[in-house]
Structure 1
Amino acid sequence: MNLYLDSHTIIIALGIGYLVAFVLASSYWLDRSNLASINSYFVAKCLQIISWFCMALRGDTIPDFLSISFANSILLIGTSLEMVALLNLHKPIRLKIKKMYARLTACGIVGFQLLLLLHNNEDMRIAYITFVTAAILMPAYRLVLDRAATVLMRVTGSLYLLAMLAFMLRGIIALRFAETASFFIPGIFQLISLLGIFLLTVLGSTAFVLLLKEKTNQELVHLASYDDLTGTLNRRTFSIHAKLALAHYAKKGKPVSYLLFDIDWFKTINDTHGHHVGDLVLQDLASRIKRNLGNEDLFTRYGGDEFGLMLPGKNEAESTELAERIKQSLRGSFGEAPPVPYTISMGVLTVVPNKFTQLETLYTTCDQALYAAKSNGRDGLSRNRSEQFPHQTRGNHELFTSK
């Protein structure tokens, strides 16, 4: 049975495949068209569609300039934009990377035009284009090797790396078996190659849409979990993680420290300099504190200028050291001065939790220490210990035990 297909027919089918993928993605993400990665991806698909249809009309229909020179040039641009969009979905790429892609694409196009002028041989054209395309796809390895990448991102990256290897193989075949590598010569290579590109188009477009959906879900989770001004955990999310930490360290029998603090005379800052400066102060404070925290430390903004820290595993000495380091960091510049000078008052508590320890009790107790720090002149630290206030119990068990 002859499975070979007319080259023009199958290339047109590829163009239709790109068109369908483009229409589906466009309609699904029409309301998100402001995203740079989506715009890049859509432009890439438009260029690839034009390229494949130009190739399909090669021969008497259109001149070789359009079907070879123009088609391959915009195909390189489209592939480059697609990779930029994909990498930008994973992690916002720097301007340096974008310039690198622009230079690589420009050099690839110029080199191809020179090849057409000086040595217009089909096998050399095929080898050149496939090797340049493979170079453009190579950064997909970042999606696979990045430890922070999701499973979907790793699978997508692997798909593009597989395509890169396929392009390199085609280039090698073109150099050694000239006629075999052409899409326009019927044969098993033509069938496998074109169908492979068709599947890659469909799978790649599907993966990109799924990645967009995944990124949107991550953004929604972030918006639901973090304070939009300071980037700290919001009260609800902090409460969930803090209670889990208390339960975990209760089983381990290890200490947990809790800090409650706010900005001294914050209302005066707002009244004197305006609420915009007040917001800058809150952001500056959060930024400086984050530099001092470990991976397990929990940082929340309760509201206004009131913040909380839970330090799982840190005893009195360690929590006091961190509190002093935080206070000292507010006096340093870290390369940039705060919007206006400010200080904070802190209440600190360290407990060895048990199964009856309540986060609300820790908050109330720490708030008493914070009030004491303010009564002592502000810009200071006050520690509350269990012996300094009545024990709260449930049955015969203390709610918490001091270190």
Structure 2
Amino acid sequence: MSLLLLDMKTVISLLVIGNICTIILISAYSYQYNNRTVWTFVLGKLLQVIAFTMLLLRDILPFTLSVFLSNTSLLIGTMIECIALLMLLKCLTTTVKRTVFIVTLIGLFSFYSAILFYNFENVRIAVISITIFTLIIFPVYSFYQNRKTSILQYIMLILYSAIALSLMFRAYNALFISTDVTLFAENRYQTLAFLTRFIEMLVGSIGFILLAKEQTDIELTRMAMLDELTNIYNRRAFIQRANALIATELKRKKQLSFIIFDIDRFKGINDTYGHDIGDYILREISQLITNTLPKDSIFGRYGGDEFVILVPNCNRDNAKQLAEALRMAVLHHPFQYISTACTLSLGVATTEVITTISLDGLYKNADKALYHAKENGRNQVYAMSF
């Protein structure tokens, strides 16, 4: 007997058992996290279990009821699974969600119309296959857009693309090839179609959980590296990135400039307007500086209102011009909630000897320059080379 001639009840039973096991494992894994995206995926799988169970019970239940319930559950379950994937990929905009709902409603309407007016199994299969194909196109496109993010997403793109192609082949087979397409017919086309669903259930579920973990790891890494208030590098992350950049620039024998600044009389702002306004000022300034800096710069918050910047391949004059541009950007920014101008004092240190330099040396010299800027009256740039 050919490997592609399997008992269809056995294949569908495996789909039911596999989906139930998937639901149990994913639920156990996700219970402590209460992740809305994962629970959405579980709901989609649960509806698909109902759908395949109704298919198995077709000989027991009234035929029309079995067909109606199984295919309705299958379409809605697939829609919810696709929504969960889009949520995970952060691609579920209001427009996309509305479009997915509309596609599902059109599919259901077409299927019910086929039952009422043209109740042939090949037509019903074609309608369901084309609708599911259309739904799967949404996550396929999102995986395609994000394929460079990770190898896992690239594999998921290939998997769901293969599923989409198999669905179109099933629809074509149902409409144009004279093959028995009744549910329990034993032929290679039927077996291939349901084996594809089995592979999607198995690999797709594993891939989803791995993607969810990947996204969690990315978020944890981001939280560990970024300052919670200003969303720029925290001290630890800045030191790591800066040391790596210094090592690279030393090999290239390029100059480095280090800028350190703080907000003039920031304690007075906190005392006068409150710490909420002080936090607002820190966030606004961080965003202003980020938008002004060259892309290859490293910008971080050392603590309180003290910020540091490392600029590669930058001499003293260019660093001083950059620091002045930062000072002016903050000086002329219309801050809300405060009636006085907000100003910066900036110290700049640039390496002249490019064979030996350390982050600690850069910081100490920039800090000396900042001290001179403060002593000279604040709201200014002081630059030095060493």
C-alpha distance in 2 between matches for 1:63 and 1:210:
40
Are 1:26 and 2:27 an aligned pair? yes
Question: 1:90–1:153: 8 Å Cα contact kept in structure 2?
Answer: no
Q: Which residue of 2 aligns with 1:238?
A: 238
Question: 2:350–2:362: 8 Å Cα contact kept in structure 1?
Answer: no
Deviation string, structure 1 residues 199-225 (Cα, Å, up to 9, x no partner): 221111111111122222222222222
Q: Which residue of 2 aligns with 1:399?
A: none
Q: CA deviation at 1:144?
A: 3.1
Deviation string, structure 1 residues 33-57 (Cα, Å, up to 9, x no partner): 2x23212211111111111111221
Q: Structure 2 matches for 1:251-270, cutoff 5 A?
A: 251-270=251-270
**Partner SS, residue 330 of structure 1:** helix
Are 1:38 and 2:38 an aligned pair? yes
Cα pair distance change 1:321/1:131, threshold 3 Å: farther
Q: Which residue of 2 aligns with 1:175?
A: 175
**Partner SS, residue 57 of structure 1:** helix
Are 1:306 and 2:310 an aligned pair? no
Q: Which residue of 2 aligns with 1:97?
A: 96
Q: After superposing the two structures, state which structure 1 stretch, 358-367 or 112-121, moved more.
A: 112-121
C-alpha distance in 2 between matches for 1:331 and 1:160:
53
Q: Which residue of 2 aligns with 1:17?
A: 18
Q: CA deviation at 1:71?
A: 2.1
Q: Which residue of 2 aligns with 1:391?
A: none
Matched AA of 1:74: S
Question: 1:12–1:56: 8 Å Cα contact kept in structure 2?
Answer: yes
Deviation string, structure 1 residues 147-191 (Cα, Å, up to 9, x no partner): 641111111121111111111111111111254444421112222
C-alpha distance in 2 between matches for 1:338 and 1:371:
29
Q: For structure 1, list consecutive stretches of 5 or more residues without a partner in the other structure.
A: 387-403
Q: Which residue of 1 aligns with 2:80?
A: 81
C-alpha distance in 2 between matches for 1:158 and 1:152:
10
Deviation string, structure 1 residues 245-272 (Cα, Å, up to 9, x no partner): 1121112121222111111221122222
Tell me the TM-score normalized by structure 2.
0.92
C-alpha distance in 1 between matches for 2:332 and 2:129:
54
Deviation string, structure 1 residues 312-367 (Cα, Å, up to 9, x no partner): 1233343333323333333566xx85454522221112225634201111111111
Q: Which residue of 2 aligns with 1:120?
A: 119
Tell me the TM-score normalized by structure 1.
0.88
C-alpha distance in 2 between matches for 1:63 and 1:272:
76
**Partner SS, residue 291 of structure 1:** helix
Question: 1:47–1:74: 8 Å Cα contact kept in structure 2?
Answer: yes
Give the number of equivalent residue pairs.
Answer: 382
**Partner SS, residue 81 of structure 1:** helix
Cα pair distance change 1:189/1:339, threshold 3 Å: farther
C-alpha distance in 2 between matches for 1:21 and 1:94:
27
Cα pair distance change 1:191/1:305, threshold 3 Å: same
**Partner SS, residue 346 of structure 2:** strand
Q: After superposing the two structures, state which structure 1 stretch, 82-91 or 297-306, moved more.
A: 82-91
C-alpha distance in 1 between matches for 2:180 and 2:129:
14
C-alpha distance in 1 between matches for 2:96 and 2:325:
37
Deviation string, structure 1 residues 27-85 (Cα, Å, up to 9, x no partner): 1111112x2321221111111111111122113x2234442223222222222222222
Matched AA of 2:70: A
Question: 2:8–2:191: 8 Å Cα contact kept in structure 1?
Answer: no
C-alpha distance in 2 between matches for 1:45 and 1:337:
50
Question: 2:260–2:366: 8 Å Cα contact kept in structure 1?
Answer: yes
Question: 2:316–2:385: 8 Å Cα contact kept in structure 1?
Answer: no
Cα pair distance change 1:162/1:268, threshold 3 Å: same
C-alpha distance in 1 between matches for 2:353 and 2:183:
70
C-alpha distance in 2 between matches for 1:116 and 1:320:
76
Q: Which residue of 2 aligns with 1:397?
A: none
Are 1:207 and 2:207 an aligned pair? yes
Deviation string, structure 1 residues 264-303 (Cα, Å, up to 9, x no partner): 2211222222222222221122122222234321111101
Cα pair distance change 1:258/1:7, threshold 3 Å: same
C-alpha distance in 2 between matches for 1:208 and 1:127:
27
- Report the RMSD for the aligned CA atoms in angstroms: 2.2
Question: 2:292–2:326: 8 Å Cα contact kept in structure 1?
Answer: yes
